Amino acid sequence: MSGSRSCRRSGLLALGGVLVAAAVVDVDVVWLVATLLLPAVAAVLVSLLVADRAFLRAVGGVLATVAVVVCIGDWETAVVAWPLAAVLLGVCALPDDGPPWRDLAASAAAVTAIASTVPVLELVDAPATVASLTVLLAALVVGAGASALLDDRRGRRGVELAAVTALLVTVLWAAGTTSLAWLALLLTLLGATLVLVSLLVPDRAVLRWVATVPLGIAYVLRLVASDVGVVEAYTVPFALVLLGAGAWVLLRTEPPRSTVVALGPGLVLGLLPSLPQALLAPTSPRGLALGLVSLAVLALGVRLRWLAPFVAGAVLVGLLLLVQLGPVAVALPRWILIAAAGVSMLGVGMTWESRVRDGRAAARWIGAMR
């Protein structure tokens, strides 16, 4: 025990000495990074073979983290050092050293892996749009991969936390450097990925509700962005992906899931963005296209007895018909409207019991939908 403590104290003193010397002496970044990473590699490798592996992994992880910080601004060195540091930190997260340490190592490895795209983007002088999209995709791949392939005992929460942090930073940075249209695209991609993960990973179902936040913000930004006239170009492709994933889940999972859960996000993303402009101009090509698509969705819901497409199609068809027939009803003489309402009430009153039975049968039919 005393030897172990002495070893730990010696290691900490050596590490502290290296950091102090690097701070005082003007050391070349490449040599400093090599001085940090080579012992880190050795410590991590030896930790897999000796008994006191937790302390050695901690030393290797700290050295790798310091090397990452030292490289900031020197992108030619970082393009090599950061991926190596990410691998080392990932190895540190493999053994079972307890949830706090494993999550911390996994989070550091994920952050470093995502950040490894930055030196490449800096060296090629990528525009803000390409840079933000690249980092966002890297964070989504890391986060979604952790949700699907890991569990909470193998550092999943740490990786997901790192991915969420990287996503927030990327979105905030894109908000100040790109257009509203591009920011809406990034948020739509983020929301669509969250919905996909919620459908494919059972214990992450709550993400479908979290996805409503970026999708809603993206929808508002699309309306605000005046330089893009075709909103559907930024929503329909992702809606088709969500609908495809939802249909796959409906057909392949047992017990069967509700269509509201599986298809609802895709239907909202595919149909809702077109609705405001279609209501403002119901006779436009967009209004006609939305009406036809809504009828097709309604017919699909009736044919397959799926609740989500039935409700979505019925609501949209009803709104579009109301907008189309509203001006006609306003133009008619008031007595015609009153007479039509009176005749309708008389008909319902004369066949009240039959209408009640029909209403209950319709409610049971809708309630039995999947």
Cβ neighbours of residue 310 closer than 8 Å, sequence gap 6 or more: 298, 301, 302, 366, 369
- The three-state secondary structure class of 90 is helix
Mean pLDDT estimate for the chain: 78
Query: What is the tens place of the pLDDT at every residue in 159-209?
Result: 888 999 999 999 989 988 888 889 889 999 999 899 889 888 888 888 887
Query: What is the tens place of the pLDDT at every residue in 347-359?
Result: 666 776 776 777 7
Q: What is the reported pLDDT for 45?
A: 65
Percent of the chain scored above 70 by pLDDT? 73
Could you tell me the two tokens for 57? 């992994």
Q: What is the reported pLDDT for 5?
A: 47
Examine the pLDDT at 139 and tell me if it is beyond 90: yes
Nearest to 111 by CA among 92, 77, 153, 139: 139
Contact 267, 308 (CB under 8 A): yes
Contact 277, 320 (CB under 8 A): no
Contact 78, 31 (CB under 8 A): no
- Per-residue pLDDT band for 99 (boundaries 50, 70, 90) equals low
Q: Of 12-21, 150-159, 168-177, which one has max mean pLDDT?
A: 168-177
Least confident of 13-27, 84-98, 232-246: 13-27
Examine the pLDDT at 255 and tell me if it is beyond 90: no
Contact 129, 178 (CB under 8 A): yes
Q: What is the reported pLDDT for 229?
A: 67
Examine the pLDDT at 135 and tell me if it is beyond 90: yes
